[in-house]
Structure 1
Amino acid sequence: MLVKMYYNIKIIIFKLACFKLALPADGATGEHEDTSQPRQVTSTRRTQVSVRGPDSPKIRGEVHAPIRGLKCLCTNAHSMGNKQEELALLLADTNPDIVGLTETWWESTHDWAVNIKGYRLFRWDRKGRKGRGVAPYVKKQYTSLPNSVGSEDGQTEMLWVRIQGGQGQRDLMVGVYYQLPNQGEELDWEFSGQLVETVKSRDVVIMGDLNYPDNCWEEQSARSDRSHRFLAEIQDLYLTQEVHSPTRANALLDLVLATGNDLVRGLQVLDHLGDSDHCLLEFTIQLRVSKACSKAAALDFRRADFNELRRLVGEALRSQRVRELRI
């Protein structure tokens, strides 16, 4: 009888302790993923996981340790034709994880010379005409793939690469962009559409030559209507601009935009690559790590009715059966 009464009291406690707390799994962000367009990319990693997104393939890779920092270089090369060897030496010396180049001026005749050992190259070459073009290099140790944003026939010189984050981290979207000094409004709106579509619950970094020489970033002001629209847009998207020194003569043309104040750190303006008239930018992308959460259910005793619990337990203890057991 005593044992039975003991379990009855435990049942009463369970009922009065209210609800269970179900928390997200380790590394979860609480966001719902769209799995409407899954496809696989194979990996040589051991443990396989799936990462899906609304506008990109499914990445499969190892659940690896969080990425502590991604070292990046960015510049307007003003033709890579005579700078490829110097770039390879620079990468061997500085060991960056990501390199963003604008105005590569590559075409099909350069295919044999553009690859660098240890890096995966993504290219956007100008079709049918010489000049321009953008290209990010990403270390092969990271799971990365091109990410399609906007229309397939878009003319914006923008290339997006999605890099899988480590455990507890969201994927990183890196964009390399070159904007003509006086390009038309149609291309401006196309770029704006890509920004709006990409900056949705993601860590995003955009680097490149955006050609807004009349912007005053300290005062957040601009002379032309076009530049003013751009300032207003990045403010609406909560993007921060991280470059504060001139990158070509006395003009600040090469920019680094990021979602949040702490995503890009330690930015420096360095020397030129070869005879390019643009400076190199060096910085680190510090991916955020979500707090580890347990999936175990727990009782919330703060919401229990202890007065009622005492009353029920008291009645049980005063019962005839308890007195017979001399408790």
Structure 2
Amino acid sequence: MPLSTTPLDLLRAGMGLSQVKRPWYFYTACWSVNAQIELNPGPSTSKSQYLCGHCEEEVTWTQKGILCDTCEQWYHTDCQGIGDSTYDRLSDSRSIKNKIPDLHQLIQQVKPDIISCTETWLKPDIQTSEIFPKDLNFQVFRDDRTSGQGGGVLTAISKHLISQEEPELKTNCNLSWAKITIKGAKDIYIGTYYKPHENDEDSLTELWSSLSKVPQDSTIWLLGDFNLPDIDWSSEVPKSKCRFKEMYEDFIDRINSFNLQQMVKIPTRNENILDLFLTNFPSLVQCTKTIPCLGLSFRKCISRTRYFQGQVVTYLTNSSRRVCGRPPDAVINIEDGTVMCAKNRGIYSANGEVLTFYLSRLLRTNNVPIVIHVRTNATSNFWRHVNYSTLSWEENQLVSLIEWINDSSLSKTRLPPLIYNAFMKGEPITANIINTSKLLDRTPAGIAEIVQWGNMILLDFLTAHSDRHVNLHIADEKSKHPRITSNFTRNLIHTQEGKLWLIDNERTLYQSFFGIKCANNTCLPRRKVLERLLKTICVFQKPVVEALMHHLRKGSVFKTLLSLSASYQFLENNLEIDDEYSLIEDILDNRAAKVVYWIQNCQKRI
């Protein structure tokens, strides 16, 4: 089977995206996009140098480099063995065009009148209608970066407001201006600004020049990523650790000279406020708040994984079917109040949970909760405050801890009628069906739901996780069971914002491939259902497909998966990875090849 074929963007314009690698935030009417890995620029001025952590030579704007978010160290791509294709994939994953369904879900949730976006990574050849289709009803003003990679800003304003672009205010920095005209009130000038480097004084000089052109008798809203982490906004002074104190002090003086106040008081990246909202009429701003992305970035997951591993359990109690499943599982609280499900069902179930989590990340999806491994040890710092013997747990048992999705809006969800209809008829869902079917609510939220179901079906097929789809197995046996779409889907929860969370993944991989029930072939019908279910979907996210094909070409998806999990699960290298896992490798890689083969068949249907 040819695996070198370039993956098809089956979703067409506006539906191929990767997971959000950094949180997106709305500040009243502002949101910004960041990413897990900062790609080069490097410094834009000669006043400071960013040295490569390997060769200790300067990483400049004209060179390809990456910034590690964990150690905050720049590296040349050549020094890290990162080829052009990998660098380009990292670059492409940051573009807003690869995050469109998440953007549309956020719009559906927040219903903003004004959207201010930085780091769009858009080029002039990308149509605005690919990002903001007509039914969203926004007028969009863009300032794309015409050379190099990265950057780019846009301002989107609802068409029920009277707005126009203000090109005469443009200067030589990444900035767009639009004016909103309101009868009987001052015009509002909305600027979206992006400064790529902390010490980019040239960009700030151009910004001040632009601001001086704004009519004095007007309201100013200036929003964006100013990349100034070392301002203490409670006192409006540079922090003690500030490296560019003179530039910071000048920035504070300048915004005061324009009578601007900074409204964002909550950290927007780690502990820093990088995304600002400056206005000369603060009384118009009732509040600002952050809204995190729908799911954590991989970098954030790794950070939380390491954080959880260093915590202490303060409370432990029996689980229930409503919370965390049946005993011997448990519910625990760690010292910061985080609730986690503790599952003690043996090594294969524990490995199933953690490997499914990392497989989802390997495929660039972000809807499997964080999982970590711990071993029971009554004298360890982690367990010393609780007595797990009350649960009949023994020493040195492997337990998987899954972060509980603490969202009051969580609800059960049902199989979408469009997917059920395709399953029963044996006719796959294509882009044409999405555009024409009366069974689909063709709002951004409705389309995003189908996209998420497609990701889930792909992941469940790879891991042979049939528990979520037992209702389809029943429907298949009873032939068009009339109440199937009214039954809730197992091990799947839904947030008010439209996010699907895949929970209870212990019966995957080894358990689903070689479990006791499967040994006597009782699992065979369910496996056939999973294969039929996969063939109901011809609409997949492009980055998910690309990731799967990339890892399959490299050799073994399973070996890559083990390597990834071993990097972040400190117990992984000590686990009893026995000979049975070599069989898992063969089966998982074979199922991955089947997925790619099906996607190539889907291409022929377009």
Same fold at TM > 0.5: yes
- The yes-or-no answer on 1:234 pairing with 2:255 is yes
Task: List structure 1 runs of 4+ shifted beyond 4 angstroms.
Answer: 273-278
How far is the alpha carbon of 1:163 from its aligned partner?
0.5
1:76 and 1:208 in contact (8 A); partners too? no
| From 99, 123, 135, the counterpart of 2:154 | 135
2:28 and 2:288 in contact (8 A); partners too? no
How far is the alpha carbon of 1:95 from its aligned partner?
1.2
Q: Deviations over 1:242-296 (max 9, x none)?
A: 0111100111100000112302222112213676689xxxxxxxxxxxxxxxxxx
- The yes-or-no answer on 1:189 pairing with 2:146 is no
- SS of alignment partner, residue 292 of structure 2: strand
Structure 2 distance, partners of 1:272, 1:103, is 16
Structure 2 distance, partners of 1:83, 1:90, is 11
Structure-2 change in CA distance of 1:209 and 1:269 (3 Å): same
The match for 1:124 is 143
| From 30, 33, 46, the counterpart of 1:76 | 33
How far is the alpha carbon of 1:133 from its aligned partner?
0.1
1:300-315 correspondence to structure 2 within 5 Å: none
State the superposition RMSD in angstroms. 2.3
- SS of alignment partner, residue 224 of structure 2: strand
Structure 1 distance, partners of 2:110, 2:173, is 30
Higher-Rg structure is 1
Structure-2 change in CA distance of 1:81 and 1:72 (3 Å): same
1:103 and 1:132 in contact (8 A); partners too? yes
The match for 1:271 is 292
Structure-2 change in CA distance of 1:125 and 1:275 (3 Å): farther
Looking at both structures, which has the greater relative contact order when contacts are Cα pairs under 8 Å and sequence separation is at least 6? Answer: 1
- The yes-or-no answer on 1:209 pairing with 2:211 is no
Structure-2 change in CA distance of 1:95 and 1:192 (3 Å): same
Structure 2 distance, partners of 1:169, 1:186, is 34
Structure-2 change in CA distance of 1:125 and 1:201 (3 Å): same
How far is the alpha carbon of 1:87 from its aligned partner?
0.9
Q: Deviations over 1:118-161 (max 9, x none)?
A: 1111111100322110011110111111112446xx33011010
2:195 and 2:227 in contact (8 A); partners too? yes
The match for 1:164 is 181
For normalisation by structure 1, the TM-score amounts to 0.58
Name which of structure 1's ranges 178-187 and 138-147 shifts more when overlaid on structure 2: 178-187
The match for 1:29 is none
For normalisation by structure 2, the TM-score amounts to 0.32
The match for 1:249 is 270
Structure 2 distance, partners of 1:121, 1:183, is 29
Structure 2 distance, partners of 1:144, 1:204, is 14
- The yes-or-no answer on 1:101 pairing with 2:117 is yes
The match for 2:283 is 262
Structure 2 distance, partners of 1:133, 1:185, is 18
Structure 1 distance, partners of 2:109, 2:235, is 37
Structure-2 change in CA distance of 1:273 and 1:192 (3 Å): farther
Count of matched residue pairs: 206
Structure 1 distance, partners of 2:248, 2:138, is 35
Structure 2 distance, partners of 1:274, 1:82, is 16
| From 66, 79, 89, the counterpart of 2:105 | 89
Structure 1 distance, partners of 2:257, 2:30, is 27
Structure-2 change in CA distance of 1:265 and 1:255 (3 Å): same
Structure-2 change in CA distance of 1:185 and 1:105 (3 Å): same
| From 216, 219, 222, the counterpart of 2:235 | 219
Q: Deviations over 1:54-88 (max 9, x none)?
A: xxxxxxxxxxxxxxxx9623223553132111111
Structure-2 change in CA distance of 1:199 and 1:74 (3 Å): farther
Structure 1 distance, partners of 2:143, 2:30, is 18
How far is the alpha carbon of 1:184 from its aligned partner?
3.6
Task: Give the strand-richer structure, 1 or 2.
Answer: 1
Structure 2 distance, partners of 1:275, 1:164, is 38
How far is the alpha carbon of 1:177 from its aligned partner?
0.5
Structure-2 change in CA distance of 1:225 and 1:210 (3 Å): same
Name which of structure 1's ranges 267-276 and 234-243 shifts more when overlaid on structure 2: 267-276
How far is the alpha carbon of 1:199 from its aligned partner?
5.8
Structure 2 distance, partners of 1:260, 1:71, is 14
Give 1:74's aligned amino acid.
W
Q: Sequence identity, in percent? A: 26
